[in-house]
Amino acid sequence: MTNAASLAPAEKKAVFLTFDDGPSRTTHQILDILKDKQAKAAFFWQGRLVHPQRPARRVIEEGHTLGSHTHRHPNLTSLSFDKQKHEIQSSLDSIKSISPAPVEYFRPPYGRYNEETVRVVNELGLELVMWDTASFDWKEKKSPEAILSNVMDTIQPGSIVLLHELQQTVSILPELIDLIHKEGYTCLALPSQRSG
């Protein structure tokens, strides 16, 4: 599993914004904000939501990372090894069909995984990525201040911040990035683990 601190370059005070449950109608808006604020991020997509009109190429070309979040978003701990493998492989196949770059990272739905999941992820050559800072944006639909404080009260150098591709997240994202930058952080994409 990827250790948050191990991802950040030692010379930079960096955090990693990550967006789950896309691609969605908000993906372009999120990308526009990231571009405007000169921030990078990682997107963990569900394979069932992927189709040619989704902006996978833009995600990669603008310097972000694209990862797998399974195909149908099940609780993996309730599935056998073979079903977990099918779920993750299906998402990889969907993303590969529209993405110009290989997928290196995986995040389990609900943050739930077991030894079988770790075996599948290793077998597929992926890196399991969790988070240490939860925005609770999915829960705080009517409280943008709560989303901001959930992040800003807990980030530290190397933090991986969990966000979702939701309208309430889009609404607070410019201010969130401004606050992160004001604290001296840089928002980075997850780095490639593959050489050459």
195 part of a folded domain: no
**DSSP letter, residue 77:** G
Interior CA angle at 106 toward 77 and 2, to 5°? 100
pLDDT, residue 5, reads 46
What is the span of the domain harbouring residue 122? 4-187
Distance CA 105, CA 2 (A): 9
Q: With beta carbons less than 8 A apart as the criterion, state whether 12 and 186 touch.
A: yes
CATH number for 75? 3.20.20.370
Using the predicted structure, report yes or no on whether residue 150 has a pLDDT greater than 50. yes
Name the β-bridge partners of 133. Answer: 161
Q: What is the mean pLDDT of residues 148-155?
A: 97
Q: What is the set of active-site residues?
A: 20, 164
What local confidence, expressed as pLDDT, does residue 196 receive? 44
Higher pLDDT, 6 or 163: 163
Could you tell me if residue 192 is inside a domain? no
Residue 122 domain-assigned (yes or no): yes
Number of structural domains in the chain: 1
Task: Quote the pLDDT of residue 75.
Answer: 98
DSSP letter string over 15-61? EEEEEEEES-TTHHHHHHHHHHTT--EEEEE-GGG--TTS-HHHHHH
Q: Is the pLDDT of residue 18 over 50?
A: yes
Does 144 score more than 90 pLDDT?
A: yes
Residue 81 in tokens? 């090894």
The arithmetic mean of pLDDT across residues 104-119, rounded, is 97
Buried b (16+ CB within 10 A) or exposed e, 116-150: bbeebbeeeebbbbebbbbbebbebeeebebbbeb
Q: Comparing C-alpha atoms, which of 189, 193, 155, 192 is closest to residue 41? A: 189
Q: How many CB atoms lie within 10 A of CB 184?
A: 9
Q: What's residue 179's pLDDT? A: 98
- Provide the mean pLDDT of the chain: 93
The secondary structure of residue 189, as a DSSP letter, is: P
Q: Please state, in angstroms and rounded to a whole number, the distance separating the CA atoms of residues 88 and 117.
A: 9
Instruction: Provide the pLDDT for residue 53.
Output: 82
pLDDT tens for residues 52-90?
Answer: 888 999 999 999 999 999 999 999 999 999 999 999 999
Q: Is residue 142 part of a domain?
A: yes
Q: Is residue 194 situated within a structural domain?
A: no
- Indicate whether 106 pLDDT > 60: yes
Claim: this prediction has a pTM higher than 0.85: yes
